[in-house]
Chains A and B, each alone.
Chain A
Amino acid sequence: GAVVSQHPSWVICKSGTSVKIECRSLDFQATTMFWYRQFPKQSLMLMATSNEGSKATYEQGVEKDKFLINHASLTLSTLTVTSAHPEDSSFYICSAGLPLSSYNEQFFGPGTRLTVL
């Protein structure tokens, strides 16, 4: 099956530092990847759509200068949380589309738990 990995699985950082999270599709090429954040006991909220070789499309209310997304290859997208603050602490999950058919299913990574002190 389609496997999506994320690294790191968890990270603790000091306020003001930047953190990079990687999302990789391990056994397929993904032209589109999606980034979500999830607060405790809440649903997943789409942050942005990452397209290989072009700029990401951000959802309303998501600061593009705060959450930098790079999709440099068909198997890797990165999310960088710049100048992180405690309110950025959350569970960040990526998904990658499986473009084998018109169904274009998305498969999710295991998530990255970010804690900002």
Chain B
Amino acid sequence: GQQLNQSPQSMFIQEGEDVSMNCTSSSIFNTWLWYKQDPGEGPVLLIALYKAGELTSNGRLTAQFGITRKDSFLNISASIPSDVGIYFCAGRDVDDKIIFGKGTRLHILP
């Protein structure tokens, strides 16, 4: 089946640093999605990417849909404490199913 490899698994950074995480897939997706999940809550959509090569920003967040349609990255600039959480990449397949990566846990050191 389709699999998404998300890295890194966790990150420990200082407040104010930039963050980068990425996802690669064994197959092509038509849509790449990035979600953030806070403890005990459902995922919240951060950025959606619909075209290969597309680069989209949402405030301090920037994500790109890889040209091969098998990868995507998410960057967070100038991290702040509320950025702490789990970030999931996800791809939507032709059946509209969303396949999730394993997540990147972001920790911000005081």
Contact between B100 and A43, CB atoms less than 8 A apart: yes
30 A-B pairs within 8 Å (CB atoms) are namely: A4-B42, A6-B42, A34-B97, A42-B102, A42-B103, A43-B100, A43-B101, A43-B102, A44-B43, A44-B88, A45-B100, A46-B97, A46-B98, A46-B99, A49-B97, A93-B42, A95-B42, A103-B31, A103-B50, A105-B45, A105-B48, A106-B45, A107-B45, A108-B35, A108-B42, A108-B43, A108-B45, A110-B41, A111-B40, A113-B40
With a cutoff of 8 Å between Cβ atoms, the chain A residues found around residue B96 in the complex are: 32, 49, 97, 104
Residue of B nearest to A2 (CB): B45
- Give the docked Cα–Cα distance between A108 and B88 (Å): 13
- Give the docked Cα–Cα distance between A103 and B48 (Å): 9
With a cutoff of 8 Å between Cβ atoms, the chain B residues found around residue A97 in the complex are: 96
Residue of A nearest to B101 (CB): A43
Contact between B42 and A34, CB atoms less than 8 A apart: no
Residue of A nearest to B90 (CB): A44
- Taking the closest CB of chain A, its distance from the CB of B29, in whole angstroms, is 14
- Give the docked Cα–Cα distance between A111 and B43 (Å): 9
Contact between A109 and B45, CB atoms less than 8 A apart: no
Main secondary structure of the interface of B (DSSP, over half): loop
Contact with A106, one of B50, B98, B99, B102 (Cβ below 8 angstroms): B98
User: Scoring A residues 42 to 60 as 1 if CB is less than 8 Å from chain B, else 0, what string do you get?
Assistant: 1111100100000000000
The residues of A with any CB-CB pair to B shorter than 8 Å are 4, 6, 32, 34, 42-46, 49, 91, 93, 95, 97, 103-111, 113
Q: What 6 pairs between A and B have smallest CB-CB spacing?
A: A108-B42, A43-B100, A44-B100, A43-B102, A111-B42, A110-B42
With a cutoff of 8 Å between Cβ atoms, the chain B residues found around residue A110 in the complex are: 41-42
Residue of B nearest to A4 (CB): B42
Which residues of chain B from 39 to 57 have a CB within 8 Å of any chain A CB? Answer: 40-45, 48, 50
